[in-house]
Each structure stands twice: as structure tokens, then as C-alpha cells.
Amino acid sequence: CFCADNCFVPTSEIIAVEETELSKKQRNIGKWQKMAKPHAFTVYYVKKARNHRWRCSDVTFWCVDEHLCNQWIQALKELLEMQKSRPKQLLVYINPYGGKRQGKRIYEQKVAPLFSLASISTDVVITEHANHAKENLFEVNINKYDGVVCVGGDGMFSEVMHGLIGRMQKDSGIDQNNPKAPLVQCNIRIGIIRSTDCICYSTIGISDPVTSALHIILGDCQPLDVSSVHHNNTFLKYVVSLLGYGFYGDVLKDSEKKRWMGPMRYDYSGIKTFLSHHYYEGTISFQPAKHTLGSPRDKDSCRTG
């Protein structure tokens, strides 16, 4: 740990360490003006604010001895290299039409500089049509990446999830259409930038691009359960978070035609569908897990033990 702003910051929450060039004006401030040639380095770290919001902060250390300054920089960089869970290479998919067409700007202005600061290399793909990311994930050399980042809304996250899981099954020779086939677990993490509020709140507690980027940089991981939906021995979809039927399905179907309305389309379609007085019938069957003890209310994480 090191001390900054009267608090201790774990080395696991240091983002980067850089040598700092002091300007002539900085050298003449206070007691540092007595130094013939002060040397400095800056430590960038995570500063936690209220409501699960994270920000990148920094503190600069001065030293009159250049050798000692370099020793500090080297020692801190070695500590960062020991953080093995941090990504080095990321594949980024950006939906230019998602988030009121702000996804590309948000990534370039708020996320990309943080990745660069943390020395993370990125390959960025701007999607051009529906399922572009999903199709691309079946073609790229996926083993060169530590994770895949999706920048967009519901559709982008769904595409990346289906592409990654589908790619894992294809490479392992698993038939997704067989509901009894044991699926191969996806070992590549998905980073989410301004996706669904539901997904963001269930993973990091807030829908904020900077906070998401910092969690990705530190290598934080939150397991999510994934369900598959089949019909007549034919694979339909993977499901994370929720599965809608009946009223909810009609709301989504109608709202897709009114994307130009923005988030207001859900309220409009919801009222319209409710006033249409539809009713829904159906039978839902499921296969309960066997020989598994646990409860959604216990304190055990997914796959504990």
C-alpha cells in the first residue's frame, strides 16, 4: 500500500506509474525550489466515490535523488506486473448507433485514454450491421485476447455473449442444438461499457463508463449464470438476467419499431400493449439441478469450491 490523500491505497488498485517531467513553474513551488534538480513520478490509482462510482486519481512524489526515483518507479511497476488477472490485450466492439449514437464518442473520450494509461493494447471493431460482432467472434483468433469489451446497449452485449459462448462450443465440437449436451465454460471475460442497466447494476453496481473501464483494467471478475432456451431440440437463445414471455415480449416487439423515441419507447409500448387487453397462455417446464445444495440468498459465489 502507499499513502495518498490521507488514505491507504492497495497496490491492487494502482492503475499505472509514470515518470513525471516537472515544469520550471512546478520546481519553484514551496520547498521544492531549494532542490537543484528535483525528480518526480506520478501514481494513478482508483478513487472510490459514493454509490459505487470509481474515478481515476493521481498523486505525484518528488525526490532529489534520480536513482532513488527510478528505484521507486521500477519497484511499483514490478508490483503491477504481479497482478496476473489484469488484461493486456482486449478486443473492443462498438455499436455506433447505441446509446443515442454516443457509444463511439464515450469510448474514445472516456475509456480509451484509461486503457492506454494502463498499457492495455486494443483492437477496435466498429460494427456495421446486426450480428456483426457475433459473426466476427467466430472468425478472429480469440486466443490472443484476454477479454472482449462491448460498447453499446442490450443488443451488443447479447451479440458478444452469444458469439463467445457459441465459439467455445464450436471449437470444442459441442452441438448447441442438443439440450442435454454439457456446454464448455467460456474462459474469456466480457467487459461491459454502458450496456443494460440491469447487467451493469448486477455486476458493478452502477451504469457508468469510467467505473466500468476501471474494473476492466484491474481485472475484476463477476460470474454470471447463463441459461439456454431450446425448442424441439433446436437451440434458440442464451439468456442472462431475464427471459420475457407474453406481455413483456409484446412490449419489446412493439418498442423495436420505435427506437427513434429513445428510452421513452418502453413506456409508450407498455401502455399501448396494456390497453390492448391481450391475455397469454402457456406452459413452462424446467429441469431442476440435482445433487446441488444452495440458495440464492446464501453468501456463496457462483462455482464456489
Q: Supply the residues annotated as catalytic.
A: 154
213 within 8 A of 193, measured Cβ to Cβ: yes
Beta partners for residue 302, in sequence order: none
Report the alpha-carbon distance of residue 200 to residue 114 in Å, rounded: 19
